Amino acid sequence: MSTLITNIGELVTNAPQAGPRPGGGTGSRAGQPPGAGSFAAIADAALVIEGGQVAWTGPAARAPAADEAVDAGGRAVLPGFVDSHAHLVFAGERGAEFAARMAGQPYRAGGIRTTVAATRNATDDQLRANLRRLAAELLAQGTTTFECKSGYGLTTADEQRSVALAAEVTPEVTYLGAHVVPPEFDGDPAGYVALVCGEMLTECAPHARWVDVFCEQGAFGPDEAAAILAAGAAAGLQARVHANQLGPGPGVQVAVAAGAASADHCTYLSDADVDALASSGTVATLLPGVEFSTRQPYPDALRLLAAGATVAIATDCNPGSCFTSSMALCIALAVREMRMTTEQAVWAATAGGARALRRADVGHLGAGARADLVMLDAPSHTYLAYRPGVPLTTAVWQAGHLVSGDRPAASASRGRGRGR
């Protein structure tokens, strides 16, 4: 069974084989330095899905026949968003803390403890219901791959059930026992690190792919972080690090030294940090929703891009510092507040996220990619930033299956963005 989606106003492929289109228009353009991956798109395009994968992309006029056809009506089609940083296993909410922060109180890492208390008091079914609601919210907005962290349990039993629940909704599960030191270990942080590296890791590792640590003043220092990542690696988990969010610090260097897939936040970087990211396989994952929601300075994305670092954008969806699940909002912030081009921002939210999860099958629409697509009610990707806050996602495919939105009409009555 093959499906042809045709009359696509702009097809973002992020695939080099799309090549530059003679005559320009909204055709392919390099949005990233060589080696860091490139935005690429085809105007007036078509795409064929077969066996859950992308079988063909190219100009609509040259599209091959297929078993069924879908008319995109001139709308844009992009790779599904890849949200490589989210904290979705929790109970409770912190709306009052947000309101107080907007009234002038600063964000501190200790606020996490509020959610820890609520999460420990919740039943499995309450956590599962909240998690599934959020996962559905992501998917409906076009996020077809997402990472999900533990980190609001902070006991062996509560971390174990957090990663087990996360594994019900995504293969990209991260063990974040090292989120903060819980209250019962006040005065004994070494004892907590021993637990995180010992019994808690043993119970969580079978359900997780990744190990993460919040390396920051008020959370975990560089030696503790390195020890936790090393213990995780010994248990078969790959590293990622919350780094340099609240101030300058050792997080990025710890991440690069550990061969982490990603250093996340990267708000306060030294020249040495930028060099380390640019010369390593560690992706710089920027989370502009956090700076928006905590009213903090944004990371310097252009400095990282100019140095040749690979940049991803993710939501950091969590009940404390940033409670958005919208990759579209994060793209708009990256463009408006961090001065990324629309091409750079969309690449970072798709292919960049895939790099941060070391996934070659998502984040692009080259032949053989998983057929994860988001269709916008707009003629180009630019509208994600041009129309901030507007729900533009009209249909979402995951592995070739329409999983959200209505099947686009077979008629061409909304041809190619005329009048919009």
CB proximity list for 49: less than 8 A, separation 6 or greater = 2, 3, 5, 55, 371, 397, 400
Residue 119 · residue 151 · CB < 8 Å: no
Q: What's the one-letter identity of residue 170?
A: T
- Please identify the residue of the shown chain whose CB is closest to the bound Zn ion: 316
Residues found in the chain: 420
Q: How far is the CB of 242 from Zn ion (least distance, A)?
A: 5
Instruction: Using the minimum distance from each CB to Zn ion, give the nearer residue, 291 or 316.
Output: 316
Q: How far is the CB of 240 from Zn ion (least distance, A)?
A: 10
Residues found near Zn ion in the complex (CB under 5 A): 316
Instruction: Using the minimum distance from each CB to Zn ion, give the nearer residue, 32 or 315.
Output: 315
Q: How far is the CB of 84 from Zn ion (least distance, A)?
A: 11
Q: How far is the CB of 171 from Zn ion (least distance, A)?
A: 19
Q: Distance between CA 264 and CA 176 in Å, rounded?
A: 13
Q: How far is the CB of 85 from Zn ion (least distance, A)?
A: 6
Instruction: Using the minimum distance from each CB to Zn ion, give the nearer residue, 75 or 240.
Output: 240
How does 10-29 read in b/e, with b if 16+ C-beta sit within 10 Å?
bbbbbbeebeebeeeebbbe
Instruction: Using the minimum distance from each CB to Zn ion, give the nearer residue, 43 or 313.
Output: 313
Residue 45 · residue 70 · CB < 8 Å: no
- Whole-Å CA distances, 297 to 2, 98, 247, 276: 47, 17, 11, 22
Helices (runs of H) and strands (runs of E) counted in the chain: 15, 16
Instruction: Using the minimum distance from each CB to Zn ion, give the nearer residue, 9 or 153.
Output: 153
Q: How far is the CB of 237 from Zn ion (least distance, A)?
A: 17
Q: What's the one-letter identity of residue 330?
A: C
Q: What's the one-letter identity of residue 27?
A: G
Instruction: Using the minimum distance from each CB to Zn ion, give the nearer residue, 159 or 316.
Output: 316
